Amino acid sequence: MAKQSRFLMGRSIDPNPLTGQESVTDLVDGAFHAYNAGRLREACHLFTQKMLSDDTTVGMSITGALTPAGLGMSSVIPLIESGFVDWIVSTGANLYHDAHFALGYSMHRGSPFTDDVTLRQEGVVRIYDILFDYAVLLRTDKFIRDVSLGSEFQRSMSTAEYHYLLGGYLKEREKALGLTHKSMLTAAHEYGVPIYTSSPGDSSIGMNVAELALEDRGLRFDVSADVNETAAIVLDAKRAGGKSGVLIVGGGSPKNFLLQTEPQIQEVLGIDEKGHDYFLQITDARPDTGGLSGATPAEAVSWGKVDPEQLPNAVVCYLDSTVALPILTSYALATRNLRKPRRLYDHRADCLARLKEEYLAAKAYRDARVGGAKLPGLDD
């Protein structure tokens, strides 16, 4: 018999019939063999077997209206509590709607085919098949404005600082209502997970902060601090002898903000680095229409976002996040021990100091031009 091709070394597709007694782990490992089910199996394995190693810092980006659908409570908060996510970049909208639950407000299942004119007349807001009272927006707005008037907010700050402070107030509201971790912001506050927003003005939180600016209040978002802090977190993970992994849920600005940490380190600051080590993305976008351009693992290598030597440690699942994320979370909780929280929020200043030190050294090297010699990419 001829020698078997190396391409035929994978496990044979020979699943057992489903019985209805399977766990999520059983389904992923035993029934998800090919196509995007196969990619989700690979994603679960990459996340649990490599990204959740003790030496890997995991950053997560969140886009799409996930928190109104309950994904914050069902999937993201358990990842935070388990130490499986160390820092987050989210749309402001997800954080705003996340706050509703901590304030005791409810979102309801509905139909995507409801007449929106009638909904408007009855004071009901629709997010596809999620329905809620318009008053929820007004009451959440008031809470955010009232909290943001506090003296500790009257300064320039990174969005991570703002969300940490806001999370503390939401935690107190949860406590008063007898609730526990209904909000990502409260869980992140408790576990020291910094949450950044790449476009802070693009949400109701930013809109309410903008109103306070008209009253000449001192609160301002420092977007440069966000850029440098996130880059510092990644650099510190690498310089401490560990690895950096990214879990990208959806796309948009948070996806790029998560990935641009490496170009910021290498391209802008001139610090010697190679890119993220692990890349896991759940998306329904396509690169050929521009929705995923520059962010497939291979393209990301060309930008310096992903270490080319680690390209095999990259998985893209072309799936609905609302289906894939709960499965990934459940699989991780079933197969991995909890990790000790890194509490990166508490260590931002130390990370930033290391980044600044390496930047100044790299800048001094460039300025010196190594005795007049040309530097590739700068003097060519």
Which residue numbers are catalytic? 305
Helix (H) or strand (E) holding 103: none
DSSP state of 47: I
Measured between alpha carbons, how far is 151 from 141 in angstroms, rounded to an integer? 18
- Cβ atoms of residues 351 and 308 within 8 Å: no
Sequence-ordered strand ranges (E) for the chain: 56-62, 87-90, 108-109, 124-127, 130-133, 156-157, 195-196, 220-221, 243-249, 278-283, 314-318
- Could you identify the residue written with the tokens 């909208």? 93
Measured between alpha carbons, how far is 346 from 111 in angstroms, rounded to an integer? 43
Measured between alpha carbons, how far is 269 from 289 in angstroms, rounded to an integer? 31
Read off the tokens for 350: 């130390």
Q: For the sheet with 87-90, list strands across it.
A: 195-196, 87-90, 56-62, 243-249, 278-283, 314-318
**Burial tier of 99 (Cβ tally within 10 Å: 0-12, 13-18, 19+):** buried
